[in-house]
Structure 1
Amino acid sequence: MNQDTSPRWQQRIFFGEWAAGRGDAVPVIEPATGDTLTMLATASAEDVAQAARLATEAQSAWAALPFDRRAAVLRKVAQLLEARAGEINQWNIRECGSIPPKAEWELAATVEQAHMAAAMPMQAIGEIFPSSMPGRRNYWQRVPIGVVGVIAPWNFPILLGLRSVLPALAMGNAVILKPDVQSAICGGLLLAELFEDAGLPKGVLHVLPGGPATGDALVRHPAVKMISFTGSTAVGRQIGETCGRMLKKVALELGGNNAMVILDDADLESAASCAAWGAFLHQGQICMQAGRHIVHRKIAGRYADLLAARAEALVVGNPATGPVHLGPLINDRQATRVAEVVERSVAQGARVLAGGKRDGRFYPATVLADVTPEMPAWDEEIFGPVAPITVFDTDEEAVALVNSSDYGLSAAVHSASISRALALAARLKAGMVHINDQTVNNEFQVPFGGMGISGNGSRFGGPASFEEFCQTQWVSVMDRGIQYPF
């Protein structure tokens, strides 16, 4: 009899051990080819309830472990991420349409996050405050939230899932991770296998792939005390509304329509390079994508020519079969939407300088000139490889154009004058502003997050992770009981 060589995760979900999901089976589709790579088991509302119960039971023992033992597990996770890079990256390429350098960067950044999380348990857990009451000591300390639900996106599924999972575990919480079904292997099941092999106690992490119904069950379950969601603003509004009614902590990292402001004294070769990277990386499927290029009228023509030349040089194709700069968009619906935004904008007067023609799920790097604020390419988050160019005449007009969007995630300003760029940046309603750089930036040790409808003010990374994934408690101590007036 042949021994079954199927991986542990094949058509399974993870409750600390592998089990069949009670949700629908769905195919894992390779975006570049349309081929079915495998079948995926999904979690039902009953599975979510079971995971919440098991996580609640396991959490207190995990939190009570000495800090060095929790840290050791997270260090082992970092080691296994590196050891299994080949398998994880290959799934990222085929499942998500990532080009190999993007997959490799994502995994390397995740390893850094794992090392940072492993250092968290050894940090101070609180402070001592003075008291006006003689003999009283006031301790203010961080304590775990309990069970944290993490709903991760498909575009950077490993990095954006584990940036919540890792610090949540470090702070003594149990976690239920719901990866998107379009990225559930590399962004979920391979990670569950990895945590299991790293020695994480049973029941502390659960991985439940699924669609909107699974996510809704996770958000609504009363034993899940916090939700960390990365995804669209539309879905984030719904999650925020539900959590608000339940008085449940929620961290929302949502969409963006991010602006690159090119002042008249900018280095245009550098600005065009930054713009191409910010607009076209991972087919523009990034919440920080440079979606609005706001360029001074004096240099707009030259900037457009340089950016269009860079766009025309980018190769589009299947990242699993050869070197390309841009892979496929994630699905037919998204490819259709990108094409429609461009077509509607062109019908209103925009000019295509590069790209602009869809080929199935493949869409080339596209540059649009003469874009005005009335066009879809201006006010919609495209989530595709499109760079719309709009002109301005004064710094005040540039600020007004940037701030006219309800989004406020990321922005960039290019100028030879740092003082001028900083003065302009201080007026922008964006959670992150990068001078003489592009909008797609992430450093694990720096708090990350947006303003406006790009999020609810939550921050990930560095010291912000301590506050996001814990709650605080005031404990006062008297050596003897007090005699009050009555």
Structure 2
Amino acid sequence: MNTNLMLIGGERIAGNGGSRDVFNPTTGQVFASISEASKAQVDDAVSAARAAQPHWAAMAPLERAAIMHRISALISENAEELARIVVQEQGKPINEARGEVAGAAGFFSYYAEFARRIQGEILPSDARGEQIWIQRVPVGVVAAIIPWNYPAALVSRKVAPSMIAGNTIVLKPHEETPLSALYMGKLFMDAGVPAGVINIVTGAGAEIGEALTSHADVDLITMTGSVPTGKRIMATAANNLVPVSLELGGKAPFIVMDDCDIDLAVRSAVTSRYMNCGQVCICNERTLVHERVYDQFVEKFVAASRALRLGDPLSEQTDLGPKVSQRELEKVERIVEAAIKEGAEPLLQGGRPETPPVKGGYWMTPTVLTGVKPSMAIMQDEIFGPVVPVMRVESFDEALSVANDSRYGLSAYLFTNDFAKIMRAVNDINFGEVYINRVGPESLQGFHNGYRNSGLGGDDGIHGLEAFLRKKTVYANYSGTSPVALMPYAE
């Protein structure tokens, strides 16, 4: 089976919208070519999802869960192959890719457990011989858009809750990293997913993403990506009054207080900043360090940054792989250049290595900037690369103020052993996720949500599942007479 074909209506189908080369970030060379959907094929995918949804929703939840468990098992059985696909198209180190694939399997096994947990409510009525039922029912057809930084795990994050809720889905992976999703399409078929329940279309966001999210027969849009794209999707969805769930990135503050375990804070800051070459929405984007431990922290952090092993991401010895694309590499270079012009001081000047691990790749070594101020663009705009501004703060109050001075509001970190500071952070840090003395990734049973420009709605856990369900109210009268005359009002 050609695993680079789309999945529409239970069949592997070539796209009619032209072809696209897929580049390996390690070499900068084309290593695959795929066909992309036409707008007519987007219509076909949505129609297939619409036709399949009533039967899928009518199945017993345990039947749906059994298929999901098979998907989880197949992902695990094919984990190494899928992880290598992730590395080839996205560039993260193989050890991180294996962790991503394990998470991709975990989403299906986790949400399969909700087969017995999606509950309704029974309320007393104002009338005799009547009950009020509030049911949680599928929304219908889901449109899902995912980015390039986690091309396997984010497929599962969207598809698994949609399936257990009884929805069908049309998913569009990012045009630069489509292969993981297309490969998973084969696993969905092997697991026995009925035709039309999961559909995967490829293509550019401006064309195919737009066609999908503006489709009149879509009932929910769930998207992870950039703020501009999220705003366009939200505006488009308004035309059809379609609910949206958006996760749009972040500018996570990483607060280090003088009473914390400095070595733990340094290790955590390094992990949080440099995992996936800094291309994670919950990454440590601005490090705020108390002045009493600032010098000690910075010295250790810079040393740890220098010690990271840049190399072929297929090597298990590699800590830092390439950026995902030439475009992203150049974007981060411009951010660093602008920060230095604004007055930031490069304590560790990274950038493109003189001798790259593999010729032609999109390589970038860590940069550590000091002398930064909260108003600088480097402290306000998402970097999404191995660059970290470190700022000295005089007090916990100043750290809180700088942390909250952001148009983003996804994740925040605090390292302290002072319980009073911990509780103040819980109450006063205005972010959707707060990590105390630890870093991500987030847990399946948590709720991954952001405030402000980081989006609305959210993913994971029972609260993430709620986005894929809607409520239906039923007035069940068994009295044999109409209660209307007895009611104090009627609309």
1:209 is matched with 202
Q: Tell me if the contact between 1:153 and 1:161 (Cα under 8 Å) persists in the aligned partners.
A: no
- 1:126 maps to which of 120, 132, 147: 120
Over the aligned positions, Cα root-mean-square deviation in angstroms equals 1.5
Q: Tell me if the contact between 2:173 and 2:202 (Cα under 8 Å) persists in the aligned partners.
A: yes
> Could you tell me how far 1:321 is from its partner in structure 2?
5.1
TM-score (normalised: structure 2) = 0.94
1:365 is matched with 366
2:220 is matched with 226
Map 1:311-330 onto structure 2 (within 5 A). 311-320=305-314, 323-330=317-324
1:375 is matched with 376
- Residue deviations 1:351-405 (CA, integer Å, cap 9, x gap): 2222422246111122111111232321110000111101211222111101111
Does 1:442 find its partner at 2:460?
no
> Could you tell me how far 1:337 is from its partner in structure 2?
1.1
1:44 is matched with 38
- Residue deviations 1:428-449 (CA, integer Å, cap 9, x gap): 11001111123x3310011111
Change in Cα spacing, 1:377 to 1:485, as seen in structure 2 (3 Å) is closer
Give the whole-Å Cα distance in 2 for the aligned partners of 1:31 and 1:483.
Answer: 68
Change in Cα spacing, 1:367 to 1:483, as seen in structure 2 (3 Å) is closer
> Could you tell me how far 1:131 is from its partner in structure 2?
1.2
Q: Tell me if the contact between 2:120 and 2:136 (Cα under 8 Å) persists in the aligned partners.
A: yes
Does 1:277 find its partner at 2:305?
no
Which is worse superposed, 121-130 or 227-236? Answer: 121-130
Does 1:18 find its partner at 2:12?
yes
Does 1:259 find its partner at 2:253?
yes
- Paired amino acid for 1:205: I
Give the whole-Å Cα distance in 2 for the aligned partners of 1:399 and 1:227.
Answer: 34
- Paired amino acid for 1:461: D
Which is worse superposed, 206-215 or 122-131? Answer: 122-131
Q: Tell me if the contact between 1:339 and 1:358 (Cα under 8 Å) persists in the aligned partners.
A: no
- Residue deviations 1:267-317 (CA, integer Å, cap 9, x gap): 211111110001111100000010010111222111111110000000112
1:246 is matched with 240
Give the whole-Å Cα distance in 2 for the aligned partners of 1:245 and 1:157.
Answer: 29
2:154 is matched with 160
> Could you tell me how far 1:23 is from its partner in structure 2?
1.3
Give the whole-Å Cα distance in 2 for the aligned partners of 1:250 and 1:453.
Answer: 14
Change in Cα spacing, 1:453 to 1:483, as seen in structure 2 (3 Å) is closer
Q: Tell me if the contact between 2:127 and 2:483 (Cα under 8 Å) persists in the aligned partners.
A: no
Q: Tell me if the contact between 2:227 and 2:248 (Cα under 8 Å) persists in the aligned partners.
A: yes
Change in Cα spacing, 1:236 to 1:124, as seen in structure 2 (3 Å) is closer
Give the whole-Å Cα distance in 2 for the aligned partners of 1:317 and 1:380.
Answer: 28
Q: Tell me if the contact between 1:148 and 1:168 (Cα under 8 Å) persists in the aligned partners.
A: yes
- 1:193 maps to which of 178, 186, 193: 186
Give the whole-Å Cα distance in 1 for the aligned partners of 2:471 and 2:484.
Answer: 28
Give the whole-Å Cα distance in 1 for the aligned partners of 2:390 and 2:101.
Answer: 33
1:416 is matched with 417
> Could you tell me how far 1:161 is from its partner in structure 2?
2.1
Map 1:137-148 onto structure 2 (within 5 A). 137-148=131-142
2:287 is matched with 293
Which is worse superposed, 313-322 or 155-164? Answer: 313-322
Q: Secondary structure of the equivalent of 1:453?
A: helix
Change in Cα spacing, 1:485 to 1:446, as seen in structure 2 (3 Å) is closer
Which is worse superposed, 131-140 or 319-328? Answer: 319-328
Map 1:419-434 onto structure 2 (within 5 A). 419-434=420-435
Q: Tell me if the contact between 1:258 and 1:411 (Cα under 8 Å) persists in the aligned partners.
A: yes
> Could you tell me how far 1:63 is from its partner in structure 2?
0.6
TM-score (normalised: structure 1) = 0.95
Change in Cα spacing, 1:322 to 1:82, as seen in structure 2 (3 Å) is closer
Q: Tell me if the contact between 1:412 and 1:434 (Cα under 8 Å) persists in the aligned partners.
A: yes
Give the whole-Å Cα distance in 1 for the aligned partners of 2:172 and 2:349.
Answer: 36
Q: Tell me if the contact between 1:311 and 1:355 (Cα under 8 Å) persists in the aligned partners.
A: no
Q: Secondary structure of the equivalent of 1:209?
A: coil
Give the whole-Å Cα distance in 1 for the aligned partners of 2:445 and 2:14.
Answer: 38
Q: Secondary structure of the equivalent of 2:430?
A: coil
1:462 is matched with 461
- Paired amino acid for 1:225: D
Map 1:107-118 onto structure 2 (within 5 A). 107-118=101-112
Q: Tell me if the contact between 2:412 and 2:434 (Cα under 8 Å) persists in the aligned partners.
A: yes
- Residue deviations 1:230-259 (CA, integer Å, cap 9, x gap): 001111111111112321011001110000
Which is worse superposed, 341-350 or 200-209? Answer: 341-350
2:471 is matched with 472
Give the whole-Å Cα distance in 2 for the aligned partners of 1:413 and 1:96.
Answer: 30
Q: Secondary structure of the equivalent of 1:407?
A: coil
Instruction: Give the paired residue count.
Output: 477
Give the whole-Å Cα distance in 1 for the aligned partners of 2:295 and 2:422.
Answer: 21
Change in Cα spacing, 1:96 to 1:484, as seen in structure 2 (3 Å) is closer
Change in Cα spacing, 1:298 to 1:476, as seen in structure 2 (3 Å) is same
Q: Tell me if the contact between 1:97 and 1:327 (Cα under 8 Å) persists in the aligned partners.
A: yes
Q: Tell me if the contact between 1:11 and 1:39 (Cα under 8 Å) persists in the aligned partners.
A: no
Does 1:78 find its partner at 2:72?
yes
> Could you tell me how far 1:424 is from its partner in structure 2?
2.6
> Could you tell me how far 1:164 is from its partner in structure 2?
1.4
Q: Tell me if the contact between 1:342 and 1:356 (Cα under 8 Å) persists in the aligned partners.
A: no
Give the whole-Å Cα distance in 1 for the aligned partners of 2:312 and 2:169.
Answer: 35
Q: Secondary structure of the equivalent of 1:298?
A: coil
Give the whole-Å Cα distance in 2 for the aligned partners of 1:350 and 1:19.
Answer: 51
Q: Secondary structure of the equivalent of 2:446?
A: coil
2:357 is matched with none
Give the whole-Å Cα distance in 2 for the aligned partners of 1:407 and 1:124.
Answer: 32
Change in Cα spacing, 1:416 to 1:465, as seen in structure 2 (3 Å) is closer
Q: Secondary structure of the equivalent of 1:32?
A: coil
Divergent runs of 4+, >6 A: none
